[in-house]
Structure 1
Amino acid sequence: MGSKSFYITTPIYYPSAKLHIGHAYCTTIADSVARYHRLAGEDVFFLTGSDEHGQKIQEKAEAQGIKPIEYVDKIVAEFQKLWDMLNISNDDFIRTSQKRHEKVVQEIFRRVYDKGDIYKGAYKGLYCTPCESFWTELQLDENGCCPDCGRPVKEVAEEAYFFKMSKYADRILKYIEDNPDFIQPVSRRNEMINFIKQGLDDLCISRTSFDWGIPVPIDEKHVIYVWFDALTNYLTPIGFLDDQEKFNKFWPANVHLVGKEIVRFHSIIWPCILMALDLPLPKQIYGHGWLVVDGSKMSKSLGNVVDPVELINKYGADAIRYFLLREINLGQDGNFSELALVQRINADLANDLGNLLHRTLNMVGKFQKGEVLAASGRSEVDESLIADAMATVKTFDEGMAGMKISTVIKAVWAFISRANKYIDETVPWALAKDVNKKQELANVMYNLVESLRIISVLIAPFMPTTAERIWQQLNMPTSFADVRLDDIKTWGGTPAGMHIGEAQQLFPRIELEKEDAVPAAKEKKKDMPKQDNTAKDDEITIDDFGKVKLQVVEILEAEPVPKADKLLKLKVNTGSEVREVVSGIAKHYEPTQLIGKKVILVMNLKPAKIRGVVSHGMILAASNGDELEVVSVDMPAGSVVK
């Protein structure tokens, strides 16, 4: 018995135009799931590809005076280049124009025809001659004309072959009802049940009005139409016709990942075709949501179609992958905005992850000449860090198996924050000054390097390049390609006595063009709430308190203000922007201790210039005699304090 197999597919994309960020999102999800299953030691087959036939492509090619295959070749090459840039680890790329696929489609047609489930009939539709397009009544414009060109349509009938889908309606309905996990998320499942209950029509599977497609094997003037050609792509590369052993290993597929608009075809039409072929059904159809851009659905007419190639060139593939996978709960629609992307890069990647690696390597270099010394004994803080690491590995394993990608990433980043906090709790720079604390220091350094070893493996499905770069900077003795999930299920995999590599910046911070901060407008006297004169002098009303806007912010950078021994200049992320704030806490904190802390800021304090630096807000701190501590909370930046 070999290792467990896992087969995941994306939809095959239609090469009528360049791919946008929504396509990149879908393929990145599939890639991260495939990478997780490889990490878990499974035998993975990950498929993506292109759906190349049909009238639309034929017309576009004719308009350019070239053959359809020449037209799609150019666009499909762009698809493949994009997947390369995004670091997509697909095992095969299926093109429906390939000979191997034509053979599969024709064989499937023959088998279903021989079974009596395909018959010849007439395809009736409303036809627009200038556009060469069929429309349904519902698609016509308000004048009953072609929605594309506005000219009249005429009813035509075209001879066609039909698949008896209606025959399988009861069987597929029962299957969906008996297998609650078959369609995910649940909202899509309910839509499909209702759709089938309204009655299934037979499916038109051939056309004669164009010839860019796979010929019907029993009737060459017909070409096989859309879904019968497109959906069967999932069978071709796993050996449906030519490698029975491979086919038995990978079929049924574990997951068909699709956009929500094509769940119906995958969870109703596709299973009916498979039932007609007496093949098992895929284990799961997962419908992901759409990416909206700054709040509106991507469309060419709005001009808000985001080109992933430009983004990758600007920010790097790993940052884009991280943002898409973290920001959007799988199954729901998600918002894409470049500003939010830059903020994630700065806060999560440059600050949380980049800083942890940089601080750790610098300290091992400075305090122990770059050598990772053996750990001996554990403090309570050490125990808690280790327990957190092991719990995170477990959450990762269970969450990724259930495709809860965004939740998993948040858990991994919570551990990254925990490791950053561990530095502040153990204060290694103080330990380094005490000759009796050598072992304690060695333990802290070991625990940080080991945490980073584990983190590098945990981020590998999402950010494969960064994961490997961390591994190399740590200078781990084994090859990253050979690492498996089992290697991080126990603490202590970093060998003592090894020397760390050279620290390099993972993600440089990206400076946002800051709008000049607008000083708070002077309040007009008449807008002030009437004072309740019975109030005591030091009492305030709820209206007074309501004027103070308090918000959680994350400290991104901290540095001393020149010639001012009490002041620190802080850069904070408010959740929607980066601000500069001056705070009189320099006597109580080393700048590095503050980085990553979530503190409370008075947001609407009038900006003031302090020692040449304009401060936009005030950090809350509590003091008692000579002691002072900033008020910190464990809530995301942008949370409102009330």
Structure 2
Amino acid sequence: MPLESRRYLTTTLPYVNSEPHLGHALEFTQADALARFWRAQGWEVFFNVGTDEHGQKIYQKALEAGEDPQVYVDRYAERFEELCRTLGISYTRFIRTTDPQHTAAAQEFWRRCEAAGDIYKAVYQTKYCVGCELEKTDSELVDGRCPLHPNIELEEREEENYFFRFSRYQEPLLRLYGERADFVVPDERLREVRAFVERGLKDFSISRLREKMPWGIPVPGDPTHVMYVWFDALVNYLSAIGWPDDPAWETWWPVIQLAGKDNLRQQAAMWQAMLLSAGVEPSRQIIIHGFITSQGQKMSKTVGNVISPLEIIDAYGVEALRYFLLRHTHPFEDTDITRERLAEWYEAHLANGLGNTVARVAALAEKHLPDWRPRDEHPPCPPKLADAMERYHYADAMDALWEELAFIDEDMAKHRTYELVRAQPEEGRARLAEYLERLWLLAMWLSPFMPQTAATIRDALAPPRRTAPLFPRGKNAGSSTKGRV
């Protein structure tokens, strides 16, 4: 069990069968804001990200490209790691499920589940969605199709596979959910997974025949099978911190997981049952976020509403993208984003909002308070912000900071501070000093969300002042030509 001053945080691992999209950027950025906030509170944080690199979809994509699967996943893994670097994601480890250490951990995890009597061989007959890499029951289908991948034909499968005895864990899982009311956030997702478990659990397949699908981790003791991609990939949450060989893993476990709503069943039920089987404590908490849509629809190349994170970065910059994802998306529900909204948010809240206010106050300070320094270089976290982050509500946290901006703007307009510092220097400088303190507080606690912007603001406020435009007006291309945001 970790010390209370430690946190282990992980995202899910993106599947490397396509380019990084805005949903990946959302989860990376939410997790990074949490990790940075916890560090600012003085906690030690192990922050895990990475890529999921086995399974049928990847094997098929590599075959279509005429490439060796390892070459294929190497190329795509680099693109995801580059996105993390570009976004300024402060991860501790970038794990790949093709890492040798992960392979060894996944095989040991299998052995422990097998020793517990939870792995057995049987004939496998099911409807299978290649898009989800999951079996589907009739009750989960809509008009005979997977609701998440309605354009992909379901496969009818029958072969001998290894199975995990999921059915054994209905009562332990329900007990877990009952004892820990905050195990899944938000509450509605906990109710959803509890209802899934209450309906009864079916054992699920955890292997594939190597002769049909060789791209996976070999099953211990049976070279004719490879592990099913979900069984292998989930173990990364343990292998990332050195399980089972490095005793330090226990100082970090249990884990706090971020995942999309399409991962709820796998993260909050399947994985927890697997942990119980292997004799490992369940996860600490699972935070479920929604999807990003555009024009009311899931982003699709066919519809033409795809907005790439790299496009947004090119048009507005990394810090603006982090702002959009953290302040203008709902932490738990779906959020609709359009090019027009991005342009409005940038001009109203960054160029004309934060950037303009900082520039005006810094200019006044340069002239009227050239030697100003903050009373407290590390002011305590505002209670409203701390409460919001306790609830994983990033938008509310940033709203608490933008209240400081609103106060400054209103007070400057009400008291005509530009004139006041000349007409009544003592009162004018007192008001200006308050603005500087508020902006310093904002900059210190903006750093988890927009770290580069926070540093630039601090540089502009205290000697030796170094000013740079935060968010140039007109930088965006709005909904203009060439497919740019």
Shared fold, TM over 0.5 = yes
* Cα 1:118–1:135 shift into 2, 3 Å: closer
- Shift in Å, 1:50: 0.8
Match of 1:468 in 2: 455
| Preserved CA contact (<8 Å) 2:127 2:135 | yes
Match of 1:609 in 2: none
* Cα 1:127–1:17 shift into 2, 3 Å: closer
TM-score between the two structures when normalised by the length of structure 1? 0.68
| Preserved CA contact (<8 Å) 2:401 2:442 | yes
Matched, 1:232 2:219: no
| Preserved CA contact (<8 Å) 2:379 2:441 | no
> Equivalent residue of 1:356, what SS?
helix
| Preserved CA contact (<8 Å) 1:274 1:280 | yes
* Cα 1:514–1:308 shift into 2, 3 Å: closer
Of structures 1 and 2, the one with the larger relative CO (CA 8 A, separation 6+) is: 2
The one-letter code sitting in structure 2 at the alignment partner of 1:248 is: E
> Equivalent residue of 1:160, what SS?
strand
Counterparts of residues 10-159 of structure 1 (less than 5 Å): 10-125=11-126, 138=138, 157-159=158-160
The one-letter code sitting in structure 1 at the alignment partner of 2:202 is: D
| Preserved CA contact (<8 Å) 1:3 1:43 | no
- Shift in Å, 1:156: 5.1
Match of 1:371 in 2: 371
The one-letter code sitting in structure 1 at the alignment partner of 2:473 is: R
249, 252, 255: which one pairs with 1:250?
A: 252
- Shift in Å, 1:274: 0.7
Please give the alpha-carbon distance, in whole angstroms, between the structure 2 residues aligned to 1:514 and 1:239.
46
**Alignment RMSD:** 2.9
What per-residue deviation string (whole Å, max 9, x for no partner) do you get for residues 97-146 of structure 1?
11010000000111111221111111124699xx9x99868569879xx9
Counterparts of residues 281-292 of structure 1 (less than 5 Å): 281-292=282-293
Matched, 1:451 2:438: yes
Counterparts of residues 247-326 of structure 1 (less than 5 Å): 247-253=249-255, 255-326=256-327
| Preserved CA contact (<8 Å) 1:373 1:442 | no
| Preserved CA contact (<8 Å) 1:7 1:45 | yes
| Preserved CA contact (<8 Å) 1:289 1:333 | yes
| Preserved CA contact (<8 Å) 1:259 1:288 | yes
| Preserved CA contact (<8 Å) 1:392 1:415 | no
Please give the alpha-carbon distance, in whole angstroms, between the structure 1 residues aligned to 2:136 and 2:367.
73
Please give the alpha-carbon distance, in whole angstroms, between the structure 1 residues aligned to 2:304 and 2:58.
22
- Shift in Å, 1:198: 1.4
Please give the alpha-carbon distance, in whole angstroms, between the structure 2 residues aligned to 1:269 and 1:79.
26
* Cα 1:457–1:115 shift into 2, 3 Å: same
> Equivalent residue of 1:329, what SS?
coil
Structure 1: unaligned runs, 5 residues or longer: 376-385, 476-498, 516-642
Match of 2:472 in 1: 508
| Preserved CA contact (<8 Å) 1:374 1:443 | no
> Equivalent residue of 1:503, what SS?
coil
| Preserved CA contact (<8 Å) 2:258 2:286 | yes
Larger radius of gyration: 1
Please give the alpha-carbon distance, in whole angstroms, between the structure 1 residues aligned to 2:307 and 2:90.
23
| Preserved CA contact (<8 Å) 1:141 1:147 | no
Counterparts of residues 619-638 of structure 1 (less than 5 Å): none
Match of 1:215 in 2: 218
The one-letter code sitting in structure 2 at the alignment partner of 1:236 is: S
Please give the alpha-carbon distance, in whole angstroms, between the structure 2 residues aligned to 1:225 and 1:373.
58
What per-residue deviation string (whole Å, max 9, x for no partner) do you get for residues 551-591 of structure 1?
xxxxxxxxxxxxxxxxxxxxxxxxxxxxxxxxxxxxxxxxx
Please give the alpha-carbon distance, in whole angstroms, between the structure 2 residues aligned to 1:294 and 1:142.
27
Please give the alpha-carbon distance, in whole angstroms, between the structure 2 residues aligned to 1:412 and 1:509.
22
- Shift in Å, 1:373: 7.9
The one-letter code sitting in structure 2 at the alignment partner of 1:439 is: E
Q: Runs (4+) of structure 1 moved beyond 6 Å?
A: 139-143, 146-150, 389-392, 511-515
The one-letter code sitting in structure 2 at the alignment partner of 1:472 is: D
Moved more, 438-447 or 412-421: 438-447
What per-residue deviation string (whole Å, max 9, x for no partner) do you get for residues 355-394 of structure 1?
22111121122334x332899xxxxxxxxxx9xx989711
> Equivalent residue of 1:433, what SS?
helix
How many residue pairs get aligned? The number is 468
The one-letter code sitting in structure 1 at the alignment partner of 2:32 is: D
Please give the alpha-carbon distance, in whole angstroms, between the structure 2 residues aligned to 1:427 and 1:373.
23
- Shift in Å, 1:201: 0.7
Please give the alpha-carbon distance, in whole angstroms, between the structure 1 residues aligned to 2:135 and 2:80.
29
Give the structure with the higher percent helix: 2
Identical residues among aligned pairs (%): 35
Please give the alpha-carbon distance, in whole angstroms, between the structure 2 residues aligned to 1:204 and 1:3.
37
- Shift in Å, 1:8: 1.1
Please give the alpha-carbon distance, in whole angstroms, between the structure 2 residues aligned to 1:127 and 1:82.
31
* Cα 1:345–1:190 shift into 2, 3 Å: same
Please give the alpha-carbon distance, in whole angstroms, between the structure 2 residues aligned to 1:404 and 1:514.
28
The one-letter code sitting in structure 1 at the alignment partner of 2:251 is: K
Counterparts of residues 420-439 of structure 1 (less than 5 Å): 420-434=409-423, 437-439=424-426
